[in-house]
Structure 1
């Protein structure tokens, strides 16, 4: 009887793997990684004249939101502004906070040339989708990941240009939500 009991215990120990603490941590770490990846598929920018380089005293403001598609091939965006006069264009530029950089994607209009939107704009200025073929400048010919990586690193910003501020009236650094 003792032999059967010992054999039963041996089979039980080998047949059912243990639930070690390290297994649980690995699952928890994986969940955190997945949550971070989901969070980093959404980005935002708060725009103001104070963010421009050099800063200006414009009372205009804006908000841009971006969402990366699940397959990573498109970025949907919406740009909302307030108190902005005579908009000519808006882009995503490559550059860290406090620096100016080149244009890598058009937001308003969806491509060149610039288009004057006369009068005061309050509300949605631009809404659309960016794909790899829409990238220009330093990112021309590169996969969309190039822009996503810059956005994740804080090295991209939204700039809205007007007739009063041709170099940009309001700007906001893009960051993960």
Structure 2
């Protein structure tokens, strides 16, 4: 290998290492700037009577500096087929309008990220107090389980 080829190879390797470092730096920035809100979903929290043994947990992470919000609904147990999952504006014990319809990931779970919408700024400033997530099923079309964020 001549000197010019060696220099080109070293430059290419260094560039690749720098690009790989960018992803790591970006991930670190997202982790440092994200605030995560949790909710535990149960049927008892539904205003119209939900699934008595249904359960799930929800995480909502907001990265303020990059204007992105991510959700992860997991540990879903003892409920029928899911027809919809929404985030609603509403205090505990009060039904409120849906502000965000969550979608199922291609892998089958309920998680995704999106750009922040206008309503999220107010929610973020109030630590998502007055917002809840609920899961609708065929058996409980008005909501099988529900959990409040920020409380």
TM-score normalized by structure 1? 0.58
Question: Secondary structure of the residue that 1:147 maps to in structure 2?
Answer: helix
Q: 1:57 to 1:66 in 2, by over 3 A?
A: closer
TM-superposed deviation, 1:146: 2.5
Q: Distance in 2 between matches of 1:109 and 1:161?
A: 13
Q: Which runs of 4+ in 1 moved over 3 A?
A: none
1:126 to 104, 110, 121: 110
Q: 1:96 to 1:87 in 2, by over 3 A?
A: same
Mark the runs of 5 or more structure 2 residues left unpaired by the alignment. Answer: 1-31
What residue number does 2:94 align with? 99
What residue number does 2:143 align with? 168
Q: 1:55 to 1:39 in 2, by over 3 A?
A: farther
How many residues align structurally? 117
What residue number does 2:125 align with? 149
Give the aligned CA root-mean-square deviation in angstroms: 2.5
Mark the runs of 5 or more structure 1 residues left unpaired by the alignment. Answer: 1-37, 111-123, 136-141
Question: Secondary structure of the residue that 2:110 maps to in structure 1?
Answer: strand
